[in-house]
Structure 1
Amino acid sequence: MMLGTGGQHLSDQGATGAVAPSVQSSSAAVASGAGALPLVQFFGRPSSSSQSAHLCPACRNVEEAVAKRNVLRGRRQAAAREAAQRIAELELQHLQLVRTFRYGGLEQVGRMGNILESHQMLRQARRDAEQEERVSRDEEAALSAFIDKSSDRQEAEERVAGEVLRQRLQNQLAQYAVLRIEAAIQRQRQMVQLQRQLVDVLAQRLGAENQEERALLDAEADRILQEIEHAADPARNPQRGRRKPA
């Protein structure tokens, strides 16, 4: 590999010159094949991060999904800031190596391996940052999709519940209207019956033989008239509405 070859060439030639400490330590790790780059260690393996794409089924409700998305977004922003700072440091170190090589003359030829390693580290850091950003955004998108779907389902359930309540109210109003109609029909029947009774009482009064009998029939006629009046407008005296004609 080009990166390992450059590091081995540097050690074989025994070239002199100061190398930035972070780049030098990272270069040794890359050249020997042992360990991982510090940025990779910071970000972790992308394969483990991709497992969080299954967070949505684990969310029990919209509130929990929103909370997880907010936490994930905060972590992504913090990781992006640290990655940007790390990349800026690597860019500065790489620029210093290039400048040293450019103005150092022939004795700086051994630094070519360090420059190649620094360039490779910088590219890897950028790829890791992009990968982490992409994975985090995919996780946020999955949570957002879950939130949107749950919200749509909740709105649909609320619409169905509202429709059920509206239908129940309409049914109750229809039943109330039927009861009012039945009550009106019953009052009409009652008035017809009372009027027949009144006619009978008045006919009996015409044939009454004494004053006492006429007084009783007059009282009965007054009672029937009151019943008829109440049947015509039951709101005037609800108590009398419960009485049945004699």
Structure 2
Amino acid sequence: MSDADGYFGEQVAERYDRSPDGEFRPDVVERTVDVLAELAGGGRALEFGIGTGRIALPLAARGVPVHGIDLSRAMVARMRSKPGGDAVGVSIGDFATTTVDMTADGPFSLAYLVFNTVMNLADQDAQVACFANAAAHLAPGGCFVVEVLVPELRRIPAGQNVVPFETGPDGWAYTVYDTVTQDATCHYISITPDGRGEARSIPFRYVWPSELDLMARLAGLRLRHRWDGWTRAPFTEDSRQHVSVWEKPRD
């Protein structure tokens, strides 16, 4: 169940950086930051869903001024406790609609939304609003970058709507899909050291690359790049994820 911090309250924030996901590997973070720093081009960057600073802090360490938006004060507090965390500005709120005051420093050259976080916006209206919000913060020529998986519907056998994605002696996780609403609610079951069971669920909305392109077009953005990932390998029909870059026209 969500609270004032959304679905990422203190219980999640406390262990978030210990996630076994490959996205936390230093080489993955470095590749991500390499691309984002290049796209920022010496300008400022705005991260939607800044969380515990997995990307924002190393990007700021490269000399890119970073500001973040996040609903979870608990996640942001974790970032603040890390070296360099106090130097990153944060606006608390829903990144689909929260705006940053640009009176003093002007618009951003880069906005980005990584690690499937666009799917945390659990309905299409919120995802459309997110693109409009990104475009409103960008200077002409600026870019909006989204990293997200390609919907994994090929993994769903006929007549089934549940797909496990993590199993182990201390817990397991699975996704329940609704192919009508594009809902993909993830359920997490974990066993604590004292043998108690804990369960939590987070709603997501999976979204197709072509659907994101239309959202971008509605926001006045146009596609510049679509890669298989941060290595910039070509996006193909077999790609399981994509990193897409949309540009705000200069004219």
TM-score (norm 1): 0.22
For the pair shown, which has the larger CA radius of gyration, 1 or 2? Answer: 1
Structure with larger RCO (C-alpha < 8 A, sep 6+):
1
TM-score by length of 2: 0.22
Q: Where is the strand percentage greater, Structure 1 or Structure 2?
A: 2
Higher normalized helix content (fraction of residues): 1
